[in-house]
Structure formats: C-alpha cells, structure tokens
Chains A and B, each alone.
Chain A
Amino acid sequence: MAFGPYLLLATLEGLVTAAVLALMALGLSLVFGVMRVVNVAHGEFYMLGAVLAWWFASLVTGHPAIGFLLALVLSPLVVAAIAFVAERLVLSRLNYEPEATIVATIGLLYIIQQLALTFYGPEARPVQAPFDMRISLPWFGYSAYKLAVIAASILMMLATWFALTRTKIGLVMRATQYDRETAQAFGIPVGRVYAGVFALGAALAAVAAVLIVPIQQAHYLMGLDPLLLSFIVVIIGGLGSLRGTVVAAILIGLSDGIISMFFSPTLAKMLATLLVALVLVFRPQGLFGTVAR
C-alpha cells in the first residue's frame, strides 16, 4: 500500500478512537466541571459498560442487532444506576472534598474491577456487531460499523450539548456548576443534581464502551488505558470545558491512531503522557481552557 492510503487508514482508525474517547472524556469532564470531583473510577464504568454489553447480548438469540441494541439501551442504564447509588452512598457523604473523593473513587475502582473479575472472569469476549458490512474503498475495504460508531458518537455529543444548553435540566446543571450555594438558595436540589451528573457521566462512558465492544473485546482490565487517555483529553481541553474536551479528543485520538501506526505504541504513549504532564505543569488551564475563577 502506498503512503497516502496508509495515512487514510490511520486517520480512520484514529477517528474511531477519537469518537469513543470523546464520549468517555465528556463524561469525565462533566463530572469534574459540575461537581469538581476527579472520578478515578470512570475507566471502570467504561469496563462495566462493556462487560454488561456482552452479558445482555448473550441473553438474546437471533439477529446480532437485537442483542446489540438491547445492550446499547440497558447497559448504560445499569451503569448509571450503579453510579447513582455510589454517589449517594459515598461521595455525597464526603462533602465532595477533592482529595477524599479521589481516595473513595480509587476504592470504587478496585471494587468494580474485582467484582468484574470474579463474576465475569479473566477472558476477553467480543460482542457481535449489529451489521456486518464493508465499504470498499479503492485501496482497502473498511468496516461500515466503525463509521457508524463515529456517527453515533457525534449524535450522542450533539444530544448532550442540546441537553446542556437548551433544556431545563441543562440550565439547572449549569447553575449548579456556576455557583453551588446560590443555586441551592434558588431551590435547586443540588444533591440530586450532583447524583444525576455523576450517573450521566458514567452512562456516557458505558455508551462509549458498548460502541467499542464489537471492535475491541470486553475485558476486566480494559478501563485503565481509556481512563488515562480521557484524563489527557480533559486536561488538554481544559478542565471543565466541554468544547475543549471534544477538540482535544479528536486531536489525541487522531495522533494516537497515526503515531501508533508508524511508531512503537509504548514509545508513543510515553511521549504523549510526558507531553501532557508538561502541558499541565506549564499551562494548567489547558490549551483551550480559560483561567479558573
């Protein structure tokens, strides 16, 4: 294959990574933006979404699309419910103190990971894609499902954006983010908003996971890498800035796809992580963020 098509393939793969990453990072960014909580267990919600997707899909027989759609609907709901309960039981009692919540979400990470290992096992299992079609380009055939993932991710992000800026729920969320105490004084149930945001963030991670399982298999350790990548995305995009998050996800996803196709993946990860750490050191507000109030 010549260099041009090779680059096109890398770009497409990068866009798929970016699509999934953007959804996941959006959840992380939302939780951090509204609640000021760094959710270290975010990667485990992603993993849980994938594992549950496999479980739901294995429950039904018939056309693979039925199982996949069932997983796409139910898996995020279950994950959101778990996140909601965890928020009410643990995080709310810690008063959202940053360091305490970090420790608590680390604890949550281990619990979810261990439960997944115990009940799901150490195997990696795939979910069948809802349709099996290849779009043939002049140089190579490309899976139509991967393109559908990109489209689905864009739709989800538009829906989130719409909910945040055009609906009452979004208004309440933004008010809570802007000034918690004033929001409370105006009768906004801040505690319930926080729980809802935490659940929504987890659900976004689960959706990302359901979209990816037909491409990558579900495994109980699959959460760590996307967690670190979403941290990177959220930081580069500016902590709490949603637009920045999406731009950064595309940037990181594309460069990850392209770099790891041409260089050693370990080296690529090493340099990317170092670069991001330095960005955070010298530009703590991120590349697109504004200085914190």
Chain B
Amino acid sequence: MTNAKSLWLHAAVILLLFALNFLLPEYHRGIFSRVMVLAVFAMGYNLAFGYTGLLSLGHAMFFAAGLYGAGLTVYHLGWSIWPALGAGLLAGTLLALVVGFLALRTTGVAFMIVTLMFAQVFYLTTLYFTTYTRGEEGLVLPQAMRTLALPGASFSLTDPATRYMAALALLTIVLGLTLILVRSPYGRALIAIRENEERMRMLGYDVFANKLASVVISGLICAAAGAAYAVLFGYVGSGFASIQYSILPLLWVLLGGGATTLGPLIGTLFMFYIIDTASDYTTAYLLVVGLALILLILYFPKGIAGTVRERWLPWLP
C-alpha cells in the first residue's frame, strides 16, 4: 500500500514537471532545466550525506569531474555527446572510488576536512592546467557540437524544449534509481550505518565496503549531473570545482530535507527562487545563503520534506 502511494507520488511529480514544459514561460522554463540538473547533483550528495551520514565538503570535485570529463572530450577531442557523457561518468566514478577509498579511513570532522582538501586539490588542478581548461574563465562548447544523436533522429541541445526534456529524463532516471536504492536492503544498511555504525559492524556488515559503495554511487550521480550540465548549458569552468559548489548541494539537501528522495529537488528549486527573488532587491545573495544555512540548522534541521514526513506523511521515502 505505502509502496504504491510513494510510486504514485513520484510519478505525479515527474508528470507535473513534464506538463510544466508546455505551461511555463520561457524564463522559468530555463530556470527549471537548470534546477533539474542541479537537483540531480543534490540527489547524489544526499545519498552520501542524508542516507549514509557522511558529511562531505568536497562533492564539487565529482560534479566537476563529470563536467570536465564531458566538456574537455567534446571541446578538445571533438567527441560526440554519448561517448563524452560516458567519459564524464567514468571520470567521476573513478575519482569517487579513489577519494572514497582514502577519505573513508577517517570519520566525522576529519572526513569533512579531507574531502574539502581533495576537492581543493582538484580545483587547483583545473587552474594549473589552464592551457586546456582556461581556468576560471572556462570554455564555451560550440553549439554545433551539442547535438544528441538518438536512433532515428538527432536533437540540438541548444533548443530550450529539448534541453528541458533531456534534464527531465536525467532527473527521472536518477530519481527512480535512488527510490529503488533506498528501499532495497542495501539502502536500509546505509541508513543503519548512519544510525549506529558499531552495531552494524557487530552484526557482521562490512561497513567500509558499504560506505565506499555509497560514495561511489553518489559520485557517479554527481558526475552525471556535471556531464549533463556541460553538454546542456555548454559551459565548463573552474568555478564549478570551487568550495562554493561543495557547499551548495549541502544547502539544497538541508533545505529540502536530508534522507528523503524528493527533498533535494524541492530544496534546489526553493533555493533557486529564493536567490532569484532576493537578487531583484539586493545583490547580496550570499547573505541569503548564509542566513538560510544558519536558520535551517537552528530551527528546521529536517528540512521541508523531512518535516512533512515527520508530521503528516510517515510513508514518504
């Protein structure tokens, strides 16, 4: 029963987003496309932070690995979209495997600092190889290269409607994947590790392997978001590897609700519109981000979806 309910809810969300493609004015459709891709980033982060309880401050490197993996192969090697996306995913997954293997030897505060530092090394690397990446200024992928070939047809990703649909497709896949994942025995094990690691170890679970798998899947999802961002919006720059992009997914997940499947999407959407509205009145949007972080952690630590689940809908996954 609850299974069916949550499936219907997720299907309804996807359908609603599909319908919005035809209803939204151009400006807001553009924002929604971006939000959906970044929400995928937040969903990847949520798997590590929300479900497994790993507070990482370095997830920008996985996003940026996907971004550069796809962007550089398109720009310098002239790869078409599919292999470029594959390169992005591979780069993010491998990076997550190595970083996870090293960083998971630490816990708590040390884990946070280690991930922060690895991400900083990645950021500095993108600056160091500025001949290829053009550093902060970044690369703009030429429009002609951004065509997606599907059997029987090819689409230009520069067209707003195609871009919206491509973002929605990615969101649907990742949302479905996380839904399956967190309801599987493996997902339950991750939550149990978050709640009591010692007990899980005593029960005979390989905690390290489970956490590593969580970081790798999380990195894979973030890289998918990064790779999609590169080909959909055609811009690849060091800014996406900076500390700010490690903190933003944390903010989105906290706002939407950690350890909920829909929370990251809600949080990203809300934060985007809060900043968008605030920037009509003031240029000080970082102030809004800072205040939001403090107020959330003080008064609203479970986020929107988390509070809804606690008060009204206990079956929400």
Query: A residues bordering B, Cβ < 8 Å?
Result: 38, 90, 93-94, 98-100, 102-104, 106-115, 117-118, 224, 228, 231-232, 235, 239, 264, 266-267, 269-270, 273-274, 276-278, 280-282, 284
User: With A100-B297, A113-B286 in contact, is A107–B110 under 8 Å at CB?
Assistant: no
Q: Is there an interface contact between B289 and A269, defined as CB atoms closer than 8 Å?
A: no
Whole-angstrom CA separation of A173 from B252 in the bound complex:
37
Contact with A along B195-234 (1 / 0, CB 8 A): 0000000000000000000000000000000000000000
The interface residues of chain B lying within 8 Å CB-to-CB of A235 are 113
Q: Is there an interface contact between B105 and A282, defined as CB atoms closer than 8 Å?
A: yes
Q: Is there an interface contact between A107 and B284, defined as CB atoms closer than 8 Å?
A: no
Q: Is there an interface contact between B124 and A103, defined as CB atoms closer than 8 Å?
A: no
Measured between C-beta atoms, what is the minimum distance from A179 to chain B in Å? 20
Interface pairs (9), CB distance under 8 Å: A103-B250, A104-B294, A110-B293, A117-B284, A118-B287, A231-B113, A266-B127, A280-B110, A280-B114
Q: Which of B55, B105, B121, B296 makes the CB contact (< 8 A) with A102?
A: B55
Q: Could you count the A-B residue pairs with CB atoms below 8 Å apart for me: how many are there?
A: 115
CB-nearest residue of chain B to A37: B109
Q: Which of B102, B116, B127, B297 makes the CB contact (< 8 A) with A107?
A: B297
The interface residues of chain B lying within 8 Å CB-to-CB of A266 are 124, 127-128
Q: Is there an interface contact between B243 and A107, defined as CB atoms closer than 8 Å?
A: no
The interface residues of chain A lying within 8 Å CB-to-CB of B287 are 110-111, 114-115, 118
The interface residues of chain A lying within 8 Å CB-to-CB of B293 are 103-104, 106-107, 110
User: With A38-B113, A276-B117, A281-B102 in contact, is A270–B298 under 8 Å at CB?
Assistant: no
Q: Is there an interface contact between A90 and B298, defined as CB atoms closer than 8 Å?
A: yes
Whole-angstrom CA separation of A277 from B118 in the bound complex:
7
Measured between C-beta atoms, what is the minimum distance from B274 to chain A in Å? 14
| Interface residues in B, total, Cβ within 8 A | 39
Q: Which of A111, A269, A274, A284 makes the CB contact (< 8 A) with B290?
A: A111
User: With A102-B55, A269-B124 in contact, is A107–B290 under 8 Å at CB?
Assistant: yes
Q: Residue B247 at the A interface, CB < 8 A?
A: yes
Q: Is there an interface contact between B106 and A280, defined as CB atoms closer than 8 Å?
A: yes
Q: Is there an interface contact between B290 and A109, defined as CB atoms closer than 8 Å?
A: yes
Q: Residue B143 at the A interface, CB < 8 A?
A: no
B265-303: which have CB < 8 Å to A? Answer: 284-287, 289-294, 296-298, 301
Measured between C-beta atoms, what is the minimum distance from A282 to chain B in Å? 7
Q: Which of A110, A118, A278, A281 makes the CB contact (< 8 A) with B289?
A: A110
The interface residues of chain A lying within 8 Å CB-to-CB of B128 are 264, 266-267, 270
Whole-angstrom CA separation of A75 from B38 in the bound complex:
40
Q: Is there an interface contact between B106 and A94, defined as CB atoms closer than 8 Å?
A: no
Contact with A along B96-135 (1 / 0, CB 8 A): 0000001101101110111011101100110110000000
Measured between C-beta atoms, what is the minimum distance from A8 to chain B in Å? 29
CB-nearest residue of chain A to B104: A281
Q: Is there an interface contact between A118 and B284, defined as CB atoms closer than 8 Å?
A: yes
The interface residues of chain B lying within 8 Å CB-to-CB of A281 are 102-103, 105-106, 114
Q: Which of B102, B286, B301 makes the CB contact (< 8 A) with A100?
A: B301
